[in-house]
Amino acid sequence: MQGWNGKLLRVDLTNQTVSAEDIDPQDAKDLIGGRGLAIKYLYEEMDPQVAPLSPENRLILATGPLTATPAPTGNRYMVITKSPLTGALSCSNSGGVFPTEMKRTGFDLIIFEGQAQEPVYLWVNDDQDFGELSRAVEIRPAGHIWGQDTHETEDIILAETDPKAKVACIGPAGERLARIAAIINDKHRAAARSGVGAVMGSKNLKAVAVRGTKKVACAEPEKMRELCRQVRAEVAEAVKKGTSLNLYGTAYVPAVTNEIGILPTRNFQTGMFDGVEGITGHVLREKYLIRPKPCFGCPIACGRLTRVEDPVYSGEGEGPEYETIAALGSACGVDNLAAITKANYLCNELGLDTISIGATISCAMELHEKGYLPEEDIGMPLHFGDADAMIEMVKLAGMREGFGDLLAEGSYRLAKKYGHPEYSISAKKQEFPGYDPRGSKGMGLLYATSNIGASHMAGDLAYMEVFGVPKKLDPLTIEKKPWYIKHFEDIFAIIDAAGLCVFLTIRYLCDPTHEVMPTRLTELLNCATGAAYTVDSLLEAGDRIYSLERMFLVKAGFSRADDTLPPRMLEEPMPEGPAKGHVVELDEMLDEFYALRGWDENGIPTQEKLESLGLSW
């Protein structure tokens, strides 16, 4: 096989054994790779009803056929498992360098099953003779690293293995089974969402270290080189002129979302934040940026290497991204970018999802201010705008100490405990990202129906509703939004399965004149794999992945009743700004969306639809 390595590594943590397996080339073609192949293994090998933190759950790290190829931004991997936060699926995405290194070990996927009795880490070193798996792959004891933060963990493992190795690991949050724990790779990059770090912690798996030197073969290397050269030249020209992502990172976004009135503010009570000028990209650039930091092979370089010298918030690391600024900043009423940046560093070190912890703290702030959550339970006052209290909550949640033990459960369980689950701004118990859907209706349908709970990465129509890429849609209408959401969910499934980053793919690898069709992406995949995809067959593969994921959810017990939003989004009109008076007209979109997907009125894929995709229950 080309593009794909054609092999997966299976690690049985209970019995401490490892084995290599061939991947069926037809499966690879039908499901593209990455997220697509991973859901196949999860669906076929595991009862979707298993408890997420039990040994029966699988944890799958998955690269795609374009990971570690010359494809620009071919540097992503996905973490797929059953989520302890939502009870549904986790499909968490990360970049950096680890995914490329993992693919170069010769394995496309690593599947963990069972549970180690004592803490361990996995060391995959392809410098060894690959013919003897036991020499290339070791399950090593990690008792001496357990309890360390992600930075210390990486340093220790590099010293024990190979300084050129790359590491993905959990911090104290994952070890202590925080339902909002992330897996951090390359110290600052996060497969953050849906509690994937807790699943890793439940398996007593502290880290995965990889050293890979194998080159990924491409089916048509010359054509691949030429196509990649063209794309890189286009991006380079744009960057030379000055692009938002390169100059400001995603931190340029608060000014835009605030302008259209959807910047999450004080737990989504409104969509406009008085302090927005202080938390936007130019401030980050002027005060804290050391330099942009790209993931492997990325010409955009939206990552931010930053340093805060203010003695109260001092530190150095990467970030913050827009999502972090929205969740730990405006959603908490905090307008101090130094404090937000410090909280971001802490999340990376402790191994927490910045979106979910920010939204959970903002939920706690609202519960407290409304009198439902007493100060004695928190241990201190917790008001909107209190940056130092926000940071303290991050520390407590990461260590599960004091009130942090509850914060680590996420906003839904917290709000429910205090009798008011309606203040958890979440879908399927996963906290919203940084777009209030009352002013971005397509995003409302996405959050409600997503297989992974509220997530922009499931099919980010904000591209069109907010950012005008490839063209601007009116965010306040529901017209044609079900079609766009289905289309974007399929496109994002393809991108995740291919191993690419959405930032570059939507803009440079999709045809902007035809409703974001994956034209060049099809060419790239064909150059890498020789699979002879057409745009249509690729879109069908995206649909297949999405439908298979939905089958997993149905078997886990999900249906239409779960495809919903909190009452604030459905019944409480936006109080001010451009979206004033708007709610999400979810029911009006839902039936049309199900019909477009080929699902029945209860949100369950029909037999006819599954047969058309070559799937069966």
Partner 1 sequence: MKVCVKLLSTYRKYLPADARGSTYSLEVPAGIRIEELRAQVPVPADESQVVLINGRTPLAGQVLEESDTIAIFPAMAGG
**Taking the complex as a whole, how short is the minimal distance between the CB of residue 290 and partner 1, in angstroms?**
20
**Taking the complex as a whole, how short is the minimal distance between the CB of residue 244 and partner 1, in angstroms?**
4
383 near partner 1, judged by CB under 8 A: no
Cβ proximity to partner 1, 87 vs 442, nearer residue: 442
Write the interaction track for partner 1 spanning residues 401-440; mark x where CB under 8 A is met and - where it is not.
---------------------------------x------
507 near partner 1, judged by CB under 8 A: yes
Query: Of 126, 323, 366, 562, which lies in the binding site for partner 1, with binding defined by CB under 8 A?
Result: 323
How far, in whole angstroms, is CA 379 from its chain's centroid? 32
**Taking the complex as a whole, how short is the minimal distance between the CB of residue 147 and partner 1, in angstroms?**
33
**Taking the complex as a whole, how short is the minimal distance between the CB of residue 249 and partner 1, in angstroms?**
9
**Own/partner pairs for 581-588, CB < 8 Å, 24+ apart?**
582/438, 582/439, 582/441, 582/476, 583/438, 584/437, 584/438, 584/441, 584/444, 584/445, 584/448, 585/441, 585/478, 586/444, 586/445, 586/448, 588/478
- Which residues between 325 and 354 bind partner 1 (CB under 8 A)? 326
242 near partner 1, judged by CB under 8 A: yes
Cβ proximity to partner 1, 176 vs 188, nearer residue: 188
Cβ proximity to partner 1, 64 vs 281, nearer residue: 281
Contact (Cβ atoms closer than 8 angstroms) between residue 11 and residue 18: yes
Residue with tokens 């799937």: 615
With H, G, I as helix, E, B as strand and everything else as coil, classify residue 30.
Answer: helix
**Taking the complex as a whole, how short is the minimal distance between the CB of residue 331 and partner 1, in angstroms?**
14
Cβ proximity to partner 1, 171 vs 275, nearer residue: 275
Measure Cα distances from 261 to 251, 437, 438, 439 in Å.
Answer: 17, 10, 9, 7
Taking the chain, what is the end-to-end CA distance rounded to the nearest angstrom? 28
Q: For residue 254, give every residue at least 6 positions away whose Cβ sits within 8 Å of its Cβ, in sequence order, or none.
A: 263, 273, 276, 279, 280, 281, 322, 325, 326, 329, 330
Q: How many residues bind partner 1 (CB under 8 A)?
A: 47
**Taking the complex as a whole, how short is the minimal distance between the CB of residue 494 and partner 1, in angstroms?**
17
Selection from 304, 309, 310 nearest residue 323 by Cα: 304
| DSSP-derived secondary structure letter, 317 | E
Binding segment toward partner 1, per CB under 8 A, in 59-67, 166-174, 179-187, 321-329:
321-329
Write the interaction track for partner 1 spanning residues 447-486; mark x where CB under 8 A is met and - where it is not.
---------x---x-xx--xxxxxxxxxxx----------
Helix (H) or strand (E) holding 551: helix 535-556
**Taking the complex as a whole, how short is the minimal distance between the CB of residue 243 and partner 1, in angstroms?**
7
**Taking the complex as a whole, how short is the minimal distance between the CB of residue 496 and partner 1, in angstroms?**
16
Write the interaction track for partner 1 spanning residues 189-228; mark x where CB under 8 A is met and - where it is not.
----------------------------------------
163 near partner 1, judged by CB under 8 A: no
Q: For residue 479, give every residue at least 6 positions away whose Cβ sits within 8 Å of its Cβ, in sequence order, or none.
A: none
Contact (Cβ atoms closer than 8 angstroms) between residue 452 and residue 409: no
Residue with tokens 């969402």: 193
Q: For residue 348, give every residue at least 6 positions away whose Cβ sits within 8 Å of its Cβ, in sequence order, or none.
A: 150, 151, 184, 187, 188, 190, 317, 318, 319
Query: Of 191, 224, 506, 509, which lies in the binding site for partner 1, with binding defined by CB under 8 A?
Result: 506
Query: Of 17, 115, 128, 243, which lies in the binding site for partner 1, with binding defined by CB under 8 A?
Result: 243
Instruction: Locate all alpha helices (DSSP H) within 370-440, ordered by sequence.
Output: 375-378, 387-399, 404-407, 411-417
Helix (H) or strand (E) holding 11: strand 7-12
How many angstroms separate the CA atoms of 8 and 392, rounded?
42
490 near partner 1, judged by CB under 8 A: no
Cβ proximity to partner 1, 255 vs 615, nearer residue: 255
Q: For residue 480, give every residue at least 6 positions away whose Cβ sits within 8 Å of its Cβ, in sequence order, or none.
A: none
How many angstroms separate the CA atoms of 559 and 234, rounded?
44
Binding segment toward partner 1, per CB under 8 A, in 140-148, 199-207, 573-581, 596-604:
573-581
Cβ proximity to partner 1, 281 vs 605, nearer residue: 281
Q: For residue 53, give every residue at least 6 positions away whose Cβ sits within 8 Å of its Cβ, in sequence order, or none.
A: 84, 177, 198, 199, 202
How many angstroms separate the CA atoms of 454 and 456, rounded?
7
Query: Of 70, 410, 542, 577, which lies in the binding site for partner 1, with binding defined by CB under 8 A?
Result: 577
Measure Cα distances from 395 to 77, 312, 341, 400, 578 in Å.
Answer: 28, 15, 14, 8, 36
Cβ proximity to partner 1, 253 vs 391, nearer residue: 253
**Taking the complex as a whole, how short is the minimal distance between the CB of residue 114 and partner 1, in angstroms?**
37
Cβ proximity to partner 1, 216 vs 473, nearer residue: 473
**Taking the complex as a whole, how short is the minimal distance between the CB of residue 247 and partner 1, in angstroms?**
6
578 near partner 1, judged by CB under 8 A: yes
Write the interaction track for partner 1 spanning residues 247-286; mark x where CB under 8 A is met and - where it is not.
xx-xxxx-xx--xxx---------------x---xx----
Binding site residues, partner 1, CB under 8 A: 241-245, 247-248, 250-253, 255-256, 259-261, 277, 281-282, 321-323, 326, 434, 456, 460, 462-463, 466-476, 502-504, 506-507, 577-579
